[in-house]
Every structure is written in C-alpha cells, then in structure tokens.
Amino acid sequence: MFRNITPVVQNLLLINIALFVVSGFVLPQLSQWFALYYIGSPYFKPFQFLTYMFMHADFWHLFSNMFGLLIFGPLLEQFLGPKKLLTLWMVCGVGSGVLYSGYNIYRVDSFQTQIETFQSNPDPEYFNKLVLEHRGYFNRSVFDFIDDFSRNPSDPVKIARATQTLEEVLKFQGNIPMVGASGALFGVLIAFAMLFPNTQLFLLFPPMPVKAKYLVLFYGLYTLYNVLINNPMDNVAHFAHLSGLVIGGLMVYRWKKDRNSFY
C-alpha cells in the first residue's frame, strides 16, 4: 500500500503531519492562527477558510483523516489525475469551511434571538429550556441555580445572573474553533463511492467486507442524523462533514457527465 502512494497524497500527508508537529511542539500559536473561527469572533481571519483544514485537534484526529486519505486517495489520484484530486481535496475542504461558517452564523444568531426573548420575559422555565438545548456549554452548577431561580422568579439578581450566564455561553460558543481535514476527506469518500461503487473494502470493526457505496451511504446517513439531532454534547462538526459529501458529490457528478463507464 505504501509503495503505491501517489504524489499529491504523499504531499498532503507530509504537510498535515508537519503542521501538526510544528503546532504541537514548536509554534503552538499556529493552532489559534490557523483554526477556523466564527466570523463574528475577534480571532477570525479570512485565510482560516484554507488553513483550518491543515490543523488537527490531536493525534487520533490527524490519524483518522490521514489514514482515510491514504486508503482512498491513491486510486482516485491514479484515476482522476493529480490535478483533479488536489482540486477535489481543496474545494471540498474550503467549501466545507465556508458552509459550516454559514451554519454557525445561523446557530449563533438563533441563540442570540433566544436570549433576547428571555430578556423580554425572564421566565425560569424558558431559561431551563435553553440550558437543556445547549447543555454541553454549561457546568453542573447551573442546575442548582435553576432550582433557586425557579423559587425566586422575580428576583432581579437571579434574572441578571441568568442573562449573564446565557451571554457568556453565547460568547464561548462563538469562539470555538474548527480544525481538521474531515470535510475534504468526506469529499474523497463520496468521490470514491461514485467512481468505484462496487469495490470491496474490508472493515476492521466489525471485520467484514462491504462495498464502497454502502459504506459511504452509511457514513452519509449517520452524518445527516447527527446534524438533525444537533447534540450539544457532541464536539464533532458534522455539518462540515455533510458539506464535504455534498460538494464532492456535485463535483464528481459534473466530471462524470460526459463519461459512460467507471470502475
């Protein structure tokens, strides 16, 4: 497998691994400079739409993305050519970042609207609803405060604390960065499934063979499910993954229009 590694795949692997080492051991500031922040964050810079996809949260995050590239990338590069594979990787990566940023704007704006609704009518039950919807951002002490607030719903001190708590969570939520090449990798996955749908892949967990089209279909449905349930305890950017699938699928569909047969 490693003897058949192709040039673009090799270079992408080296760049991602090198930046992981540099940001982890030499220049940790890169993690903040290159991660993709919410557009309204003071840390946001336009170049982050490109750089975020070369940064990773930890070793296993890097390993999973690079392992996927190593498994699916070489055959795609041989079939599509280096230029198209690189185009696929970059467009899916940047496009995922752009679409996720739009999704993040919608989420933050929706939460801001909810806070304004609470401020206009500071109801403890509505505050509890917001805490449950965004519970991944609150510490456990907030539930003790909810009980206290419920017993004293008109207390201006309690109302002020509830408002401050929500605004702090809003600020924190807006400053959570996104990193990783998962959007680009999902573009590669959908491309592989569309071009080599019946290729048998052997899974490690569970140890069984499965056709590429079914594997990617499972990943797609699982990703869509996670986007829809929007679990606040989940720190995975599932919408970026879904964006990579959609963008990659559209690109390959366009490339396939004038061709009649594929592996």
Q: Hey, is 138 helix, strand or coil? A: coil
Angle between helices 7-21 and 82-120 (to 10 degrees): 40
CA atoms within 13 A on the CB side of 116: 6
> What was the pLDDT predicted at 262?
46
H or E stretch at 197: none
Name the stretches of the chain with pLDDT < 70: 1-3, 204-205, 232-234, 258-263
Closest CA to 53 of 180, 150, 202, 228: 180
Confidence at residue 257, expressed as pLDDT on a 0 to 100 scale: 80
Query: pTM for the full model?
Result: 0.88
What is the amino acid identity at position 135?
Answer: R
* C-alpha radius of gyration, the chain, whole number: 22
pLDDT at 34: 96
Q: Write down the pLDDT at residue 209.
A: 83
Burial class (CB in 10 A: 0-12, 13-18, 19+), 186: buried
Cα atoms in the 13 Å half-sphere on the side-chain side of 197: 8
Query: Given this model, what pLDDT does residue 201 score?
Result: 82
What pLDDT shows up at residue 118? 93
CA distance 30 to 51: 10
pLDDT of residue 260: 54
Nearest to 137 by CA among 95, 184, 174: 174
Which residue has tokens 């795609």? 76
Per-residue model confidence (pLDDT) at position 261: 45
Cα–Cα nearest to 192, from 72, 15, 36? 72
Q: What are phi and psi of 176, to 5 degrees?
A: -85, 120
Identify the bridge partners of residue 210 per DSSP, sorted by sequence position.
201
Model pLDDT, residue 263: 42
